[in-house]
Amino acid sequence: MFDTLSERLQSALSEVRSHGTLTEDDINKAMRQIRLALLEADVNFQVVKRFTAAVKERALGADVLESLNPGQQVVKIVDEELTALMGGAGRDLVFASSRPTVILMAGLQGSGKTTACGKLARHLREEHKKDVALAACDVYRPAAVDQLVKVGSQVGATVYEQGTGRDPIDIAEWALGRAKSEGRDVLIVDTSGRLHIDADLMKELAEIKKRTKPHNVLLVVDAMTGQDAVNVAEQFAETANFDGVVMTKLDGDARGGAALSVKAVTGKPILYASTGEKLDAFERFHPDRMAQRILGMGDVMTLVEKAEREFDEKKAEELERKIRRQEFTFDDFLDQLHQVRRMGPVSGLLKMIPGLGSQLSGLKIDDRELDRVQAIITSMTPEERANPSLLNGSRRRRIALGSGTNVSAVNQLVKQFGQMQKMMKALSQGKMPSLSQLARGR
Ligand SMILES: Nc1nc2c(ncn2[C@@H]2O[C@H](COP(=O)(O)OP(=O)(O)O)[C@@H](O)[C@H]2O)c(=O)[nH]1
Ligand SMILES: [Mg+2]
């Protein structure tokens, strides 16, 4: 997400950081680099102008230049302004006092509405323990209803549909009635899009709004379309009111422009970020955390939340005990691997760790490598997993064959595992190896 932008901003700031004192010239130079980086990321021109002006004015303030650590202060200013640009502390969904809370999803065709309906339903079920129903009001594309039905069944949400034969406005009203009588907590209304904003679409949305009185209208916007996404949001804001944005496809080669501009241009905050086709690739959008991620300061909060969701606390305690007693086996290793992989691609996770993000740029973490590791370990017998010293030449050959790898891959894993055990021993004795030692595998 925003890799190039992140790299460019970090390099502009690392220069500023490296100076003991800062002159106006240094600041001007950094601002030029920041300006270029933002423009290149397809951030709206006016937004860039205002942003750099604001940062510059604050950075040139006497209290900054004369402070003990001016470079650090400038980084802090950029972080704060970036956070403000993307919407400050953020806004939450509004939940109605009487059921159901209605959420209307709007947006152009292909922006990711139907997918986002499913993702939001899943999110509300898992994080807010809500009973969610979906209303299928896209009746123009034949497969649209089926798509929503499928998504709904995947996330455990009831889908109210009447096929494609009826008026979407009537379906919306009917679905609301059912949600009420069935006591659903939330009703998410999936609507049809158009290729472009047109009067028909706006009229239909306005009518659905009138009949269902949504507590939240969310505009779904495709981040990959860059400036176009912002223009669409601006047009929507002019004719139909909405409360917040769901920014989709942030996993693609989205350069960041849309995410950085949309709040400034429309006044509406981004509430959710969608980062993949899978239904769990969806998160609350936190401007402060996103700014820190872009600036390579890591996104510890998101990482911690993710870990808390995924890790079983008891297991963690047991693991810690094993490490302390030096009883960590290949089975535990496999277990860890499974846990980590449940959180998503490993490279994505590592990027969220402060200080690691930029160190890892260029380093490709190949998830297929982990597949091989998994295959090798599962080809070992339980005795071998518990006691790697049993692994003589003939056993290693058997494992290589069984896992579809080769002996040198098995050798390498066994060696790495040995190193890891040594490291854990050091850790449990309170000697923390440095990152560079870790990277060299010592
Ligand atoms: N890579 C990626 N693809 C997405 C994301 N959200 C949706 N899509 C894909 O975009 C396409 C259109 O999505 P859909 O939900 O049908 O859009 P709709 O026409 O607005 O309902 C589908 O192929 C989705 O799988 C996302 O966050 N990342
Ligand atoms: Mg759709």
Which ligand number lies closest to the CA of residue 144? 2
Mutate to test the pocket of ligand 1, among 277, 282, 283 (most ligand atoms within 8 A of CB): 277
How far is ligand 2, taken at its centre, from the CA of residue 430, in Å?
A: 54
pLDDT at 348 over 70: no
111 within ligand 1 shell (Cβ under 6 A): yes
As given in the structure block, the two tokens for residue 322 are: 């094993």
Grade residue 335 by pLDDT with cuts at 50, 70 and 90.
Answer: confident
Residue 222 C-beta-side C-alpha neighbours within 13 Å: 17
CA–centroid distance, residue 184 to ligand 2 (Å): 22
Which architecture does CATH list for 3-85? Up-down Bundle (1.20)
Between 386 and 254, the higher pLDDT residue = 386
Question: Looking at per-residue confidence, does 314 or 226 come out higher?
Answer: 226
When pLDDT is cut at 50, 70 and 90, the band that residue 169 belongs to is very high
Considering the chain, what percentage of its residues have pLDDT values greater than 70? Answer: 85
Atom number in ligand 1 closest to CA 248: 27
* Res 363: pLDDT: 52
Confidence of residue 72 (pLDDT cuts 50, 70, 90): confident
- Report the nearest atom of ligand 1 relative to the CA of 275: 27
- Using a 6 Å cutoff on CB, does residue 276 contact ligand 1? yes
Average pLDDT over residues 86-115: 90
Say yes or no to pLDDT of 190 above 90.
yes
Residue 436: is its pLDDT beyond 50?
no
State the closest ligand 1 atom to the C-alpha of 138, by its place in the atom list counted from 1: 21
Greater confidence (12 vs 252) lies with: 12
Kindly report, residue by residue over 210-225, the tens digit of the pLDDT. 999 999 999 999 998 8
Residue-level pLDDT at 351: 62
Nearest-atom number in ligand 1 for the CA of 141 is 19
The closest ligand to the CA of 138 turns out to be: 2
110 CB less than 6 Å from ligand 1?
yes
| Helix, strand, coil content of the chain in percent (nearest 5) | 60, 10, 30
- State how far the Cα of 328 lies from the Cα of 320, in Å rounded to an integer: 9
Q: Please give the distance, rounded to the nearest whole angstrom, from the Cα atom of residue 199 to the centre of ligand 1.
A: 24
Q: How far apart are the first and last CA of the chain?
A: 31
Work out which ligand 1 atom sits closest to the CA atom of 115.
Answer: 15
Q: In 229-257, which positions are buried (b, 16+ CB within 10 angstroms) versus exposed (e)?
A: bbbbbbebbeebebbbbbbbbbbeebbbb
Distances (CA, A) of 424 to 328, 373, 431: 9, 19, 9
Q: In testing the pocket of ligand 1, which one of 105, 111, 115 has its CB within 8 Å of the most ligand atoms?
A: 115
CA of 261 to the centre of ligand 1 (A): 21
CATH of domain 305-439: 1.10.260.30
What's the confidence (pLDDT) of residue 148? 96
| pLDDT band at 442; cut points 50, 70, 90 | very low
CA of 277 to the centre of ligand 1 (A): 6
Tell me how far the alpha carbon of residue 304 lies from the centroid of ligand 2, in angstroms.
33
DSSP string computed for 301-334: HHHHHHHHHHS-HHHHHHHHHHHHTT---HHHHH
Does ligand 1 lie within 6 Å of residue 8's CB atom?
A: no
- Greater confidence, 15 or 306? 15
Ligand 1 centroid to residue 278 C-alpha, Å = 10
User: Could you tell me the distance, in angstroms and rounded to a whole number, from the CA of residue 146 to the centre of ligand 2?
Assistant: 10
> What is the distance in A from the centroid of ligand 2 to the CA of 191?
7
Lowest mean pLDDT among 10-14, 235-239, 311-315: 311-315
Q: Which region among 269-273, 322-326, 372-376 has the lowest average model confidence (pLDDT)?
A: 322-326
How far is ligand 2, taken at its centre, from the CA of residue 297, in Å?
Answer: 36
Domain ranges of the chain: 3-85, 101-296, 305-439
What percent of the chain shows pLDDT beyond 90?
A: 45
Please tell me if the CB atom of residue 115 comes closer than 6 angstroms to any atom of ligand 1. Answer: yes
Q: Tell me what pLDDT residue 435 has.
A: 45
Query: Relative to the alpha carbon of 148, which ligand is closest?
Result: 2
Instruction: Give the CATH fold of the 101-296 domain.
Output: Rossmann fold (3.40.50)
Q: How far apart are CA 423 and CA 432, in angstroms?
A: 8
> Angle at which helices 313-324 and 407-428 pack, to 10 degrees?
90
Q: Does the Cβ of 274 fall within 6 Å of ligand 1?
A: yes
Would you say 6 and 357 are in contact if contact means Cβ atoms under 8 Å apart? yes
Is the CB–ligand 1 distance for residue 192 below 6 Å?
no
Band of residue 441 on the pLDDT scale cut at 50, 70, 90: very low
